[in-house]
Amino acid sequence: MMASGLSLIFGLMRVVNFAHGSFYMLGAYTLVYILSLMGNFWLVLILGPIIVGVLGLFVEWSTIRPLYGTDEINPLLLTLGLNYVFVDIIRILFGLGGIGSSVPEALDGRINLGFMMFPKYRFFMIVVGAIVMFLIWLFINKTSIGMVVRAGTKDNEMVQMLGINIKLVWRMIFGLGIALAALSGALIAPITGVIPEMGMFMVIEAFVVVVVGGMGSFAGSIAGGILVGEVIAITNLYFGQAGTVAIFVLMAIVLLTTKAGLFGEG
């Protein structure tokens, strides 16, 4: 989900959003903090991504939008700086150490899949991820707004000449991409806990997924996510913590053989 949000933003806006990991981290912190106030995991799981998505819209309006039409490296450097700003703000508010979280009681324990016992919460994450990705696919491929998004990724100027407010579509997709990152962080928080730097670790893997799948390709981000996840899991099973090295080897092989990723267009 995080890589898909990153891919949506790049595909339409050509913004390499290095602050994406910070929104992932903010989604986790939002869930833990609001959960401590409200105690309703299901409500917070919905509210958290919306809150962080609105914050993402404000960031796009106040900092990124003025850089549209300039050199593509300018938004990249800006979002890289924003990443450190958000991390330091969280350190000031919540401290340098991490904050623990727990799996909701209804999802605690294991489920019998017939051939193995599997943690309920991880199964829940898989189901939620599949449902969310399917809904995003429907939105992009089966709605009129999605048609504008797909057209905008090919030729922004032509879409504007047809009288469509492409900048409004940009904002909507940016907010959607940020909300996906926040939802990813919120879902992982009960398993790993949260620390200010968690987004810095994850955004690297998300960029590898996007590059392997093809920059700007939504289908590529899904295929790349599954492939990278399997490479990490299998490598770590046999070679300890070598999974991080393996995904960069995978990325190198894919780029050397395809030039633009699995679903990239060059």
The verdict on residue 74 lying in a domain is yes
Is residue 57 over pLDDT 90?
yes
pLDDT tier, 98 (very low <50, low <70, confident <90, very high otherwise): confident
Q: What is the pLDDT of residue 13?
A: 77
Statement: the pTM of the whole predicted model exceeds 0.85:
yes
Which residue type is seen at 21?
A: G
Q: Which residues pair with 110 in a beta bridge?
A: 119
Q: Is 265 helix (H, G, I), strand (E, B) or coil?
A: coil
Instruction: Average the pLDDT over 161-174 and give the result.
Output: 84
Q: What percent of the chain has a predicted confidence (pLDDT) above 90? A: 47
Give residue-wise pLDDT tens across range 242-266.
Answer: 888 999 999 999 999 988 888 876 5
> Which token pair is 69?
């039409």
Q: What is the pLDDT of residue 266?
A: 58
User: What are the residues whose beta carbons fall under 8 Å from the beta carbon of 7, sequence distance 6 or more?
Assistant: 210, 213, 215, 216, 217, 218, 220, 221
The verdict on residue 218 lying in a domain is no
The verdict on residue 238 lying in a domain is no
DSSP 65: G
Q: Are 264 and 217 in contact (CB under 8 A)?
A: yes
Give residue-wise pLDDT tens across range 105-130.
Answer: 888 899 988 888 999 999 999 999 99
Q: Are 6 and 221 in contact (CB under 8 A)?
A: yes
The verdict on residue 49 lying in a domain is yes
pLDDT tier, 22 (very low <50, low <70, confident <90, very high otherwise): very high
Is residue 137 over pLDDT 80?
yes
Instruction: Average the pLDDT over 180-209 and give the result.
Output: 91
The verdict on residue 235 lying in a domain is no
The verdict on residue 118 lying in a domain is yes
CA-CA-CA-CA torsion sign (120, 121, 122, 128) = positive
> Which token pair is 90?
């969280």
In terms of Cβ atoms closer than 10 Å to its own Cβ (0-12, 13-18, 19+), residue 119 is middle
The verdict on residue 227 lying in a domain is no
Instruction: Average the pLDDT over 9-18 and give the result.
Output: 83
- Which residue range forms the structural domain that includes residue 191? 2-196
Distance CA 76, CA 18 (A): 7
Q: Is 119 helix (H, G, I), strand (E, B) or coil?
A: strand
Q: What is the pLDDT of residue 144?
A: 85
Q: What is the pLDDT of residue 148?
A: 84
Instruction: Average the pLDDT over 181-187 and give the result.
Output: 94
Name the domain count of the chain: 1
Q: Are 218 and 12 in contact (CB under 8 A)?
A: no
The verdict on residue 217 lying in a domain is no
- Give Cα 89 to chain centroid, integer Å: 21
Instruction: Average the pLDDT over 2-27 and give the result.
Output: 88
Strand blocks (E) in the chain: 110-112, 117-119
